[in-house]
Amino acid sequence: MELTAFRNKLFAEGESLGLTDIELYYEKQESFSCQIFKGEIDEYESSTVNGVSVRGLYNGKMGYAYTEKLDEESVQFLLESVQENAVLIEDEPEEIFSGDANYKEVDYFSPSLSNITAEDKIAFLKEVEKKIYAYDPRVVQTDYAAIQDQSFEKELFNNKGLTLNDRNNFLSIIFSVVVKEEDEIKSDFYFKITKDFDSLHADEIAKEAVEKSLSYLGGRTYPNKNYPIVFKNSAAAALVSTFVSSFSAEAVQKGQSRLKGKLEEKIASDQVSLSDDPFLPDGIRSGTFDSEGVPTRKLTIVENGKLKTYFHNLKTAKKEGISSTGHGHKPSYKETIGVSPSNFFVIPGEKTYKHLYENLDEGIIITNLAGLHSGANPISGDFSLAANGYYVKDGEIVGPTNLMTIAGNFFEVLNDIEQVASDLEFSPMGGSGYIGSPSLKVKHLAVTVD
């Protein structure tokens, strides 16, 4: 069934069943990806999928349902499910937004990116892979050498007359390089998201990907103790992304955030400011309206260490008698409305990454974190994470450490940030917004080296 016909049928039948407000959220995603292995195409994938989510108010309560099959049978399934779910729900009612007069007019879709042919993308992939093998004899092989592009379209309709649409696209590449020296095997990956294919240079990528892996060869153990820490930008972004839910008003109102009651208070050192910018030209979460149809806007969350606001959707904002900050978020049509940042980042300072460690007598640089989904408690802020990195002595990088753990508490880390570098980078991890940070120097953390 065509979307318009499906919508008309759904709204008409829903109203006749006694649903007062009805919303239809449509999402379409197209993707292409290709992986190569030793010069040959190994995996090739293409897709077109869409799905719809329906919310409806029934007896004053909101019910949800979704489907990926747009047929008549699904209209009935959706409406019955919405009713059944609405009857049981015990939460405060959500509202369906009737719309705003002001939406920014920006199209985040890059037509030039979508015009790049599969052949060009595959040729680029092969070129980088070839350069990776040629770069150093210690390269054993790649674990992944892949390129992917994705485009998204979303449309939001409700029976109050609101109609909105938005689209975005981006391309990503990943190269994971395995290197070996004697019996020691090391591997790390290079990942990049961009909207500009021409900005990718095969030589630079191959160099960075291989050197990253090589830099971990010759790892040594060091005493277990507290060290001054420098988080390299991507590791800092990964750490921040793990604790982003603390800034959500939903978590605060449910008693699941340590930032509860801290508005206008200092929660971080003076060096720390955090901004959420839904209009970043290259942001993968850029858009002009949120999942509830509320216009998005740029927001300062933390200013020189002081907490200025939480992220709000319509429901959390109503509870506090304020307006939504435009952060109502549905990760996909398969989910309900929650709260999430858009493009959220630590505002960069002026110092270089090198400046952060060149005055240290002794310290550890963290370049990579693992186990973020298991070794961190997003509520308490406690973490104990596997990490890779380097040992620093007298301001110089001595060499890689063996696998480490670093342990501490995120909220203490915020207060212990002594310097912020200028090298803002966004993390590929995390479903909760597109999170970025420059490199950060932290007073100290407990380090255990294997």
Partner 1 sequence: MLNKALIENVLSAALTTGGDFSEVFVEDRYTNNMLHQGGRLEKSLSGRDFGVGIRIFKGLQSVYAYTNEFTEEGLLKAARAAAQAIEGNNTEKNIVLPMEKQSLLSSHPIQFMPASVEKSRKLAVLRNANEIVTNYDSSISQAILRLREEEQHVLIANSEGTFAEDKRVRSLLAITAVASDGNDMQTGSYGPGAHKGFEFIEGLDLNHYAKEAARSAVTMLHADPAPSGKFPVILDNEFGGVIFHEACGHGLEASSVAKNNSVFANMEGEKVASDFVTYIDDGTLTNEWGSINIDDEGEKARKNVLIENGILKGYMIDKFNGRRMEAASTGSGRRESYKFAPTSRMTNTYIAPGKSTPEEIIADTEYGIYAKYMGGGSVEPATGDYNFAINEAYLVKNGKIDKPLRGATLIGNGAKTIQKVDMVGNNLGHGAGMCGASSGSIPVNVGQPMLRVSEITVGGREAK
Cβ-based neighbour number of residue 87 at 10 Å: 11
67 makes contact with partner 1 (CB under 8 A): yes
Q: State in angstroms the smallest separation of the CB of 424 from partner 1.
A: 26
Which residue, 94 or 290, is less far from partner 1 as judged by CB? 94
Q: What is the 3-state secondary structure (H, E, C) of 366-406?
A: EEEEECCCCCECCCCCEEEEEEEEEEEECCEEEEEECCEEE
Distance in Å, CB of 66 to partner 1, minimum = 4
Do residues 317 and 409 make contact, with C-beta atoms less than 8 angstroms apart? no
Asked if residue 183 binds partner 1 (CB under 8 A), the reply is no
Maximum Cα interatomic distance, the chain, rounded to a whole number of Å: 75
Binding of partner 1 at residue 123 (CB under 8 A)?
no
Q: Report the C-alpha gap between 88 and 95 in whole angstroms.
A: 17
Is 178 near partner 1 (CB under 8 A)?
Answer: yes
CA distance linking residue 27 with residue 335, whole number of Å: 12
Which of 138/308 has CB closer to partner 1?
A: 138
Which of 1, 5, 12, 118 binds partner 1 (CB under 8 A)? It is 118
Question: Shortest distance, CB of residue 339 to partner 1, whole angstroms?
Answer: 13
| Residue closer to partner 1 (CB basis): 201 or 225 | 225
CA 413 vs. chain centroid, Å, equals 21
Cα–Cα distance, 240 to 350 (Å, whole number) = 20
Nearer to partner 1, 220 or 225 (CB): 225
Binding-site size, partner 1 (CB under 8 A): 71
| 66 near partner 1, rule: CB under 8 A | yes
Q: Which residue has 């670093």 as its token pair?
A: 406
Q: Does 172 bind partner 1 (CB under 8 A)?
A: no
- Give the residue from 177, 179, 175 showing the smallest Cα distance to 137: 179
Check if the beta carbon of residue 131 is closer than 8 Å to that of residue 206. yes
204 binds partner 1 (CB under 8 A): no
Helices (H), 153-296: 202-214, 233-242, 249-253
Single residue of 226, 323, 352, 359 touching partner 1 by CB under 8 A: 226
The answer to whether the Cα torsion of 350, 355, 357, 361 is positive or negative is negative
**Which 236-295 residues touch partner 1, going by CB under 8 A?**
254-256, 258
Structure tokens at 343: 């493009």
Mention every residue, 6+ apart, whose C-beta is less than 8 A from residue 49. 28, 29, 68
195 or 258: whose CB is closer to partner 1? 258
Q: Note the Cα 219 to chain centre separation in Å.
A: 31
Q: Which is nearer to partner 1, 172 or 304 (CB)?
A: 172
Q: Which of 286, 342, 405, 432 binds partner 1 (CB under 8 A)?
A: 405
Beta bridge partners of 171: 149, 194
- Would you say 107 or 265 has its CB closer to partner 1? 265
Distances (CA, A) of 23 to 64, 166, 313, 329: 10, 16, 16, 15
Is the CB of residue 14 less than 8 Å from the CB of residue 58? no
Looking at the Cβ atoms of 341 and 408, the one nearer to partner 1 is: 408
Site track for partner 1 across 92-111, x = CB under 8 A: --------------------
Choice between 201 and 373, CB closer to partner 1: 373
Q: Which of 344, 362, 194 is nearest to 276 (CA)?
A: 344
Q: Return the residues of window 372-401 that contact partner 1 according to CB under 8 A.
A: 373-375, 377, 379-380, 382, 384-386
Query: To the nearest whole angstrom, how small is the minimum distance from the Cβ of residue 214 to partner 1?
Result: 14
Residue 77 is a binding residue for partner 1 (CB under 8 A):
yes
Residue 10 or residue 347: which is nearer to partner 1 going by CB?
10
Member of 59, 76, 98, 224 binding partner 1 (CB under 8 A): 224
Write down the least CB distance from residue 346 to partner 1, Å: 24
Nearest distance in Å: CB 209, partner 1: 14
Kindly state the smallest distance separating residue 395's Cβ from partner 1, in Å: 23
Provide the residue type at 31 as one letter. Answer: S
46, containing H or E segment:
strand 40-58
Name the minimum Å distance from CB 303 to partner 1.
25
Measured distance CA(61)–CA(254) in Å, rounded: 20
Residues 292-351 that bind partner 1 (CB under 8 A): 334-336
Instruction: Quote the least distance from Cβ 380 to partner 1, whole Å.
Output: 5
